[in-house]
A and B are shown apart, each in its own frame.
Chain A
Amino acid sequence: MPQFRQQEVRTLAEKKSLGKEFTKGLISENPVLRLVLGTCPTLATSTSVVNALGMGISAMIVLVCSNIVISALRKVIPSKVRIPAYIVVIASFVTIVQMIVKAFVPALDASLGVFLPLIVVNCIILGRAEAFAGKNSIVASAVDGLGMGIGFTMALCCMASIREILGAGTFLAGAQSLLSLFGENTLNGFDGFTLIGEGSAISPMMIFILAPGGFFTFGILMACANKIAEKKGKPRAGLGGCSACPMAKNCAILAKGENCEEKKEEAQA
């Protein structure tokens, strides 16, 4: 009987820690706004909410699948060749997702363009493989990937909402291209809202969907995230978040820019 109870306690503790693995990616360790990973796709695909959703979901599928496989193989992969091995696993899933998107949501494939295959070099995915999946169990890695993926999608959608509403005067425009996955004319052919129409007195601020607006919105969002983090007594976001990335050591040396030669030898030693 006591043995049984002990087991029960353990499974409960495991459940609690799994919950923690899931929720940390959403807010407190949000990959985009707290860890500052995956900045390229964040800036490039947040021009509309539909693009952001497509990118977020594609990256999430790759992240969960690659986390599961890498975690399952963590005792087989020698640590010296782990980075190339991780890249092969990730690239395979990216290719699968790319083919699925091309086949079922061609409009999304056209608007994401080169950023769909570029998920393979998204540092969120390689970073999680290195920092988490290579060391933890399959279930925990899957949950971690799901949490980080949802956090990435949330941050992308948040930024895309601001840019699309201010820059194009629409919200969820082109939603039918995603909804068509569930059959033709889902939700009565819902295709987004138009907030600032053709004939209205004001026109949308185009610059928000152009490149400068991307940098600006990201900067302001990060300032807000820092403000909230500071209130809770947590450190501000910085590029230090890439400590999860396998390249972080070299990057940190370069960022400091001092005694490059000496530190390079240290890093190699």
Chain B
Amino acid sequence: MKAALTILLTAILTENFVLAKFLGICPFLGVSKKLNTAVGMSASVIFVMALATAVTYPINKFLLVANGLEYLQTIVFILVIAALVQLVEIILKKFMPPLYNALGIYLPLITTNCAVLGVVLLNITKEYNFAQSMLNSVGAGLGFMLAMVIFSGVRSRLERCDVPKFLQGLPIVLIAASLVSVSFMGFAGLVDGLFA
């Protein structure tokens, strides 16, 4: 239990995917203007991350490692994730139209999202077992959601501010992201301290 909570909290707070590890910056900057799109995007990311981990873990363990083909990880994983996203889209469209209407538009964007491939590869470098990998993936997705939701709030305030002309647009958004990132640095050591 303690170990599980440590993995989850580390992935959400101290090693936040967006604000500490710089994975998934494109959707973080591109889709965080409105709260509803931010939540929709992050919900799809959590879903795909969990699914991708559940599928790639056995492939890696029983197909690649068992046959000494670890060097094919990058190619196999990106193809599996791309095919998986397509498949999920088709299944949702056919059997769960309400869910498809909510998440459908975000799914194709996720194929080339580095956060999904990133979490799968990080699970392997950290040598997690299946349960730990799943926890880490869900935690990373929740961390992504937390960052997106907080940042969409910051951005809606930012739009009403009088920003110096040369900082308008993306520069001020990046500087705001830097301040949010500083606040997340405050969590450093929290997880170790919690269970000490």
Contacts and interface: CB of A to CB of B under 8 A. Distances in A.
27 contacts: A40-B22, A40-B24, A87-B78, A87-B79, A87-B82, A91-B78, A91-B79, A95-B71, A95-B74, A98-B71, A117-B121, A118-B23, A118-B118, A121-B117, A211-B19, A211-B21, A216-B175, A222-B171, A227-B166, A237-B169, A250-B108, A251-B30, A251-B109, A253-B105, A254-B106, A255-B31, A257-B33
A212 interface: yes
B75 A88 contact: yes
A254 B174 contact: no
B190 to A, nearest CB: 16
Contacts of B33: 255, 257
Interface of B: 19-26, 29-31, 33-34, 36-37, 41, 71-75, 78-79, 82, 101, 104-106, 108-109, 111-114, 117-118, 121-122, 125, 166-175, 177-179, 181-182, 184-185
A183 to B, nearest CB: 27
Contacts of A43: 22, 25
B174 A216 contact: yes
Contacts of B41: 254
Interface string A232-256: 0000111100100101001101110
Contacts of B118: 114, 118
Contacts of B26: 39-40, 123, 242
B114 A40 contact: yes
Nearest to A117: B74
A36 interface: yes
Given A39-B25, A211-B19, A211-B20, A120 B74 contact: yes
